[in-house]
Structure 1
Amino acid sequence: MNDGTVDHHSMDDVNALRQFSRYFTRRVGALDDHYLGQDRPLGEARLLFEIGDGTSLRELRSRLTLDAGYLSRLVRSLTAQGLVEVSAHSSDSRRRLVRLTPAGRAEIEEQNRRADALAGSLLTGLTAAQRDELTSALAAARRLLRLAAVTVDLVDGAAPDARACLEAYAADLDARFPEGFDASALVRPEEVSGTAGAFFVAYEERRPVGCGALRRLAPGVGEIRHVWVHPDARRLGLARRLLDALEHAAAQRHLTVVRLDTHTVLTEARAMYLACGYAEIPRYDDNPYAGCWFEKRLAGTVPDAAGPRPAEG
């Protein structure tokens, strides 16, 4: 949803981030050909860490967004040093697997020891209170940088990633709802595609980590459905990003009000909707899983243009 451009009001923020990046990479020796005092640059050291207990070259390319040629050169170098070994997958000869050798595992243990020592040396000059402050600041920075790197993309409601997110969402609700959840209650692809609606998938490092759907209820009225974030990506602020995208899509479709419902056990969802300007309203649907109903009029709309409100009671 962001084209990557920066307006002049953001330049102070950009400069601050760049200054921190330059200082930190210099301070930890990221540009040194002998990273952490070992006989290899950061690229090779990081790749050893990412290989861990073993993975495929395809997964490494995707996770690290590395050029295939560059990755191959790194793997060849580590193989020549006796630190990794490459083999074919047992069920797919085209898929190459890479694992650490015993020497590679020993190298990782030493790398971790040195990294811990370096991190400890950076903290030595700080008081306990200052270390706590730094730890909190780093946690906030990591959370916000993760959120900034997530993309929220409009996809067809029948796309594989859309359906995979909905399957995970349904499984999540089935575990959390006392009565369980029937996946037949999910929106149909045609309800949230093209002119009928919208479906967004959130991606972190090319992995789907969230979704949300919009469908039309009546002239001028839309309904937001299935806002979900993977457990690994929660507490980043991603649900609000998805909600913003859905509201923007509603405005683009000339919908002047959006409604949604949620289960009573989803207290965090109810709190988010209230914080985002949604007001509780009487029941407007027959969703058996709903216990709270909400509505929000979109900015710049005519109050009476959204159609009739649900009946009281």
Structure 2
Amino acid sequence: MRRRDFLVTVGGIAASPFAVRAQQKTRLPVVGFMGAATPAAWSPWTSAFARRLEELGWIDGKTVRIEYRWAEGSEERYDQIGAEFVRLGANVLVAVGGDAARKATSTIPIVVALMSDPVGTGLVSSLARPGGNLTGMSIQSTDLAGKRIELLKEAIPTLKRFAILAYVDYAGTVRDVEAIHAISKNIDVMAVTIPIHRASDIEPAFGTLDLQVQAMYVPPNILVNTNRVLINQLAQRRRLPTLHGFREYVDSGGLMSYGPNTANLFRRAAEYVDKILRGARPDDLPVEQPTEFDLVVNLKTARAIGFEFSTSFLARADEVIE
């Protein structure tokens, strides 16, 4: 063998382990982000999530690959996205609700940025020790339901009858509705449930409202989140005050909201993803609950529907949108 050929052969043998390691390094960890609505509707949340990951050293395309998929309000599509990420071999799934991701996999770690009632719906064993492959942020929506209805009564002292626009195919909303009916009886107010199953049900649902309905509570979920602009437009046409769970609904024309800061929940979800990518197990990461809640009111919407907040109520608001 000629010396040159020998050196090439030896060099090739010596280099091959390094080449293999280099190839291995090019396979970035994949975060499968399951978007329930549309990119535009979720842009504040995805921005908060990606920004926090970058702060923790996970830069999309360099140290991690974030794959976004969008269900656009379709529960069926949301289920498909979970299965798609399993086939893709994602290292972590980021979701809301948790049901679709849990159906898709019992092994890939799942971080849920928004869970309505994870213990009550059976997603986790307990907040402290979730068990299984799922953890994340609980908004304890059923616990907040009472406070929201109390605020609605405070904003409308003459309140006797209000509607709940309820996506009844979502377990979290069903539990919300049960809690709201129980609480409403205690404060001598009647809650009327208006069931919806799909986006096409929303406009007809408003047509079923009787004249005695003085306001509407819209429990947050995948369907109403995607259609929140339409819901608020329909409510404004009827000059109907609306109460929501997140400020994003108020930004979209709702009258008022009470709930946690959603962008912060997605930032915390990014921190959970960071821990899991560094080796933490989801069943060792307690489900967190928000500790701060904001009351947000929209005076522009109030003027549009001829509604007037009391001075004392406005003084309680954490944010007033002019």
Please tell me the TM-score bracket, short chain as reference.
Answer: under 0.3
Larger RCO (CA within 8 A; separation ≥ 6): 2
- TM-score, normalization: structure 2? 0.27
- TM-score, normalization: structure 1? 0.27
